[in-house]
Structure 1
Amino acid sequence: MSKEVAMIVLLALAGFLYGGAYSTWKTARPLAIALGVAGVLATAGAVLYLF
């Protein structure tokens, strides 16, 4: 798998995690925070994997 494909997959995963965090914010805040943190980690992983 090339670096560009891995980066795109990680960014797509981050998008799903951010969407899940946004949709669960009013009902389950601890879960939303966990999803947001996981999204940040996926984004950071995608950026760092490119280098």
Structure 2
Amino acid sequence: MRDYLPIILLGLAGFLIGGVWTTWKTNRGMSVVLAVAAVMAVVGGIGWMVWG
């Protein structure tokens, strides 16, 4: 599981970015929350690959 976690986090980030794209015109507040979560997932995935 340890080897797959960065891939899972980066996939989750892609899913969240899709959510940002979809909700941007209807609910900007939720889009910002999803964008923050996507950035956290990307940073976590890359950080896990580099330092994990």
- Counterpart CA distance in 1 for 2:2 and 2:17 is 25
In structure 2, the partner of 1:16 is 15
Instruction: Indicate the residue corresponding to 1:45 in structure 2.
Output: 44
TM-score (norm 1): 0.91
Q: Which secondary structure does the structure 1 equivalent of 2:25 belong to?
A: coil
- Cα distance in 1 for residues equivalent to 2:33 and 2:39: 10
Aligned length: 50
Offset, 1:2 = 3.0
The alpha-carbon deviation at position 36 of structure 1 amounts to 0.4
RMSD across aligned positions (CA)? 0.8
Query: Structure 2: which 5+ residue stretches go unaligned?
Result: none
Partner Cα distance (1:11, 1:33) in 2: 18
- Contiguous gaps of at least 5 residues in structure 1: none
Instruction: For residue 26 of structure 1, give the secondary structure of its aligned residue in structure 2.
Output: coil
Moved beyond 6 Å, runs of 4+: none
